[in-house]
Amino acid sequence: MPAYTAPLRDFAFVLNELIKVQEIVPTLPGYAEATEDVYASYLEAAAKFCESELAPINRSGDEAGCVFNPADHSVTTPDGFAAAYQQYCELGFPGLDCDPAYGGQGMPKTLAFPVMEMLTSSNVAWSMYPGLSHGAYAAIHAHGTDEQKDAYLPQLVSGEWTGTMCLTEPHCGTDLGLLKSRAEPNGDGSYAISGTKIFISAGEHDLADNIIHLVLARLPDAPKDVKGISLFIVPKFHTDASRNDVFCGSLEHKMGIKANATAVLNFDGAKGYLIGEPNKGLACMFTMMNAARLGCGMQGLGLGEASFQGSLAYAKDRLQMRASNGPAFPEKSADPIIVHPDVRRMLLTQKAYTEAGRALTALLALQLDIEEKHPDADQRKEAADLVALLTPVAKAFMTDNGYIATNLGMQVFGGHGFIREWGMEQLVRDCRISQIYEGTNGIQALDLIGRKVLLDQGQKLRKFSGMVVAFCKAQEGDERMREFVEPLMKLLKDTGELTMHIGMAAMKNRDEAGAAATDYLRVIGHVTYAWLWARMAKVAFDQGDAADPFYQAKITTARFYFAKLLPEVHGLMVSIKSGAAPLMTLDAEHFAFQ
């Protein structure tokens, strides 16, 4: 397994110099104590834990996987997982950004997100146990009654109990309107929940005493589609310690995140409690969807970083062939492969995607902090709009790039990348699921082009473009920034036209939007990263201590991004403009012939 060292310097750069969280976060109500030194201390504490406790059990966890014990429906997690979880709770991690009223530390998302990145880099499978708990916490905190909050939140915040999110059923994943699980009133205010949920992450395990399932199900008289779904709290153990009728039926055997239990859960009249209003269950889930999707996007980021660290170290060490223009290290039997242009292409692609992803994550975390705490409603709305627009982009673009980055990391290792002992192929496998769950990347793309762009006549997109234009305008007179600002302005103009083009085409034929969606999301992702790389270059030019290679490396990587990765948009735009016909013409019966 490649050794993991938390990128603390880059976190400090992004938080303090690029996004400048200190100018805003400590002024928000409740965050006065979130000062720069507190961020640094928290991040350092988290880095130590991730490097020393989670990274060492990442590969062994993958080899061992989770074991289902049919006799008592229990699940055994890999060696060291429960002990690390115990320690994680004792150190106070679960309550990091939770409400102090329930025992949390009330820290902002701009602090919680970098911690999450470190957890995913060091051990993504492990990180999903507390990750799902946080989702359950957020749902109950947002929609629970005071009694429900008092009953469940303290234990979720301390980590004594964990949580799950139970949406998926065998016949429905993307289309939750098809959901069948039922909830019959028991007459005492509780409900009997029946049905089968599949693919439930952290659905059963031996890390904690109790599991609080949040379950989507239908009330008896509910409408058939998505408007008839309600949300229920179904604890594995009741408050009186008796066992509820929800049992793990089996575990999935899967490609990656093997150390996270993906469970089939059978609800057999399990006692549950309605949370939020009847038939409003999906809306309840959606309130925390943005945070969950960003968390998922961060898996692409974290795994890309882990892979980059491995491949960079390897590329400096592995001797193979000579540099084309003559030996770089004549005294050695060959040159380290980092001298070769193609290896540099791979490493720089990893680096450029990862660092831009980190910047995007911090930017969105700041918007979430503002959306939650800012006293001014307009500011909250602005922040919410930006989060809404960029969440599908962050989820899909970061996980697609994470997959590219982990794959390149494996490629840098040559044949050794394919061998399990090196740990590089595990990162590819672990990353792959992030493109599928939390709404497939195809669905994220539809969300972007449909709900986020076309449905509001491009308002949110125009506001976003306005921010980028304002940045570009502010660089006028700064000759050093021309190489970034000019292509960025051109790209914005082209993107505006492209959006119009899709909008017009989709008015005549709805399939045009669906046909453009995935390419379009990638274009918007590139616009976003290009903007962030230009901003990073600006910081580096201005703050740049000439002796500090860190800033020079930012500028050089920004140049690489604009020169080598950004041009992908041209191909994407051509593809989009070719429209839906090339996709829709072939008869489904004619895709293959016997």
Partner 1 sequence: MKALVAVKRVVDYNVKVRVKADGSDVDIANVKMSMNPFDEIAVEEAVRLKEAGKVSEIVVVSLGVKQCEETLRTALAMGADRAVHVETDAELQPLAVAKLLKAVADKEQPSIAILGKQAIDDDANQTGQMLAALLGWGQGTFASKVELNAETATVTREVDGGLETVKLALPVVITADLRLNEPRYVKLPNIMAAKKKPLDKLSPADLGVDIAPRLKTLKVAEPAKRSAGIKVANAAELVAKLKNDAKVL
Ligand X SMILES: Cc1cc2nc3c(=O)[nH]c(=O)nc-3n(C[C@H](O)[C@H](O)[C@H](O)COP(=O)(O)OP(=O)(O)OC[C@H]3O[C@@H](n4cnc5c(N)ncnc54)[C@H](O)[C@@H]3O)c2cc1C
- Binding-residue total with partner 1 (CB under 8 A): 27
Site string (31-60) toward partner 1, x via CB under 8 A: --x---xx-xxx-xx--xx-----------
Task: Say which entry of partner 1, ligand X, none residue 166 contacts (CB below 5 to 8 A, set by partner kind).
Answer: ligand X
Q: Which of residues 209-238 bind ligand X (CB under 6 A)?
A: none
Shorter beta-carbon distance to partner 1: residue 23 or 548 = 548
* Cβ–Cβ < 8 Å for 5, 77: no
Measured from the CB atom, is 48 or 171 closer to partner 1? Answer: 48
Contact region for ligand X (CB under 6 A) — 177-185, 217-225, 442-450, 525-533?
Answer: 442-450
- Fill in the per-residue mask, 366 to 405: x = in contact with ligand X (CB under 6 A), - = not in contact: ----------------------------------------
Closest to partner 1 by CB, 286 or 550: 550
Contacts of 56 (CB under 8 A, 6+ apart): 1, 80
Q: Are 84 and 54 contacting, i.e. CB atoms less than 8 angstroms apart?
A: yes
Torsion angles phi and psi, residue 395, rounded to 5:
-65, -55
Is the Cβ of residue 321 or residue 581 nearer to ligand X in the bound state? Answer: 321
Q: Looking only at residues 483 through 502 of this chain, which bind ligand X when binding is defined by CB under 6 A?
A: none
| Under rule CB under 8 A, residue 105 binds partner 1 | yes
Instruction: Indicate whether 384 belongs to the interface with partner 1 (CB under 8 A).
Output: no
Distances, alpha carbon 475 to alpha carbons 469, 486, 556, in Å? 10, 10, 19
Dihedral of alpha carbons 133, 11, 489, 515, sign: negative
Whole-number Å distance between alpha carbons of 249 and 267: 10
Rama region for 458: left / alpha / beta (φ>0; ψ in -120 to 50; rest): left
Strand 210-217 relative to strand 230-235, pairing: antiparallel
Q: Report the nearest approach of ligand X to the CB of residue 164 (Å).
A: 6
Nearer to ligand X, 39 or 199 (CB): 199
Q: Say how many residues touch ligand X, by CB under 6 A.
A: 32
78-81 long-range CB contacts below 8 Å, 24 or more apart?
78/259, 80/56, 81/57, 81/126, 81/129, 81/207, 81/259
SS3 letters for 325-353? CCCCCCCCCCCEHHHCHHHHHHHHHHHHH
Using CB under 6 A as the criterion, what x/- string covers residues 278-317 for binding ligand X?
----------------------------------------
For residue 184, which phi and psi values (nearest 5 degrees)?
-100, 135
The pair of three-digit structure tokens given for residue 504, joined into one six-digit string: 């017009």
Question: What does the DSSP assignment read for 148-184?
Answer: HHHHHHHHHHHTSEEEEEE--BTTBSS-GGG---EEE
Shorter beta-carbon distance to partner 1: residue 105 or 465 = 105
Task: Give min distance, CB of 558 to ligand X, in A.
Answer: 24
Report how far residue 432's alpha carbon sits from residue 403's, in angstroms, rounded to the nearest whole number: 6
The least CB distance from residue 89 to partner 1, in Å, is 10
Q: Which is nearer to partner 1, 44 or 542 (CB)?
A: 44
Q: Taking Cα atoms as reference points, which of 254, 215, 221 lies closest to residue 236?
A: 215
Contact flag: residue 283 with partner 1 (CB under 8 A): no
Cβ closest to partner 1, residue 32 vs residue 474:
32
Binder of ligand X out of 411, 509, 552, 575 (CB under 6 A): 411
For the bound state, the minimum distance from the C-beta of residue 238 to ligand X, rounded and expressed in Å, comes to: 22
By a kind-dependent CB cut-off of 5 to 8 A, residue 254 interacts, out of ligand X, partner 1, none, with: ligand X
Interactions with ligand X, residue window 157-176 (CB under 6 A): 165-168, 173-174
The DSSP call for residue 245 is: S
DSSP-assigned letters across all residues of 91-148: TT-TTTTS-GGGT-----HHHHHHHHHHHHHHHHHHHHHHHHHHHHHHHHHHH--HHH
In terms of CB distance, is 87 or 457 closer to partner 1? Answer: 87
Q: Phi and psi (nearest 5°) for 78? A: -60, 160
Interacting residue with ligand X among 218, 318, 526, 538 (CB under 6 A): 318
Whole-number minimum distance, CB 439 to partner 1, in Å?
31
Pick the piece of the chain touching ligand X (CB under 6 A) from 68-76, 363-371, 432-440, 476-484.
Answer: 432-440
Which part of the chain contacts ligand X (CB under 6 A), choosing from 106-114, 277-285, 433-441, 573-581? 433-441
* Residue 33 interface partner, choices ligand X, partner 1, none, CB cut-off 5-8 Å depending on type: partner 1
Q: Is 93 in the site for partner 1 (CB under 8 A)?
A: yes
326-345 residues in contact with ligand X (CB under 6 A) are: 337, 340, 342-343
Helix (H, G, I), strand (E, B) or coil at 444: helix
Residue 396 and residue 521 in contact, taking contact as beta carbons nearer than 8 Å? yes
* Contact status: 110 vs partner 1 (CB under 8 A): no
Judged on CB neighbours under 10 Å (0-12, 13-18, 19+), 577 is middle
- Least distance (Å) from partner 1 to the CB of residue 327? 14
Catalytic positions, please? Answer: 438
Give 366-400 as a 3 state SS string.
HHHHHHHHCCCHHHHHHHHHHHHHHHHHHHHHHHH
Q: Taking CB under 8 A as the rule, does residue 160 contact partner 1?
A: no
Q: 276-301: string of b/e by CB count within 10 Å (b at 16+)?
A: beebbbbbbbeebbbbbbbbbbbbbb
Residues that bind ligand X (CB under 6 A): 165-168, 173-174, 199-201, 254, 257, 262, 318, 320-321, 337, 340, 342-343, 411-412, 414-416, 418, 433, 436-437, 440, 442-443, 446
Residues that bind partner 1 (CB under 8 A): 5, 8-9, 33, 37-38, 40-42, 44-45, 48-49, 87, 90-93, 95-96, 105, 331-332, 545, 547-548, 550
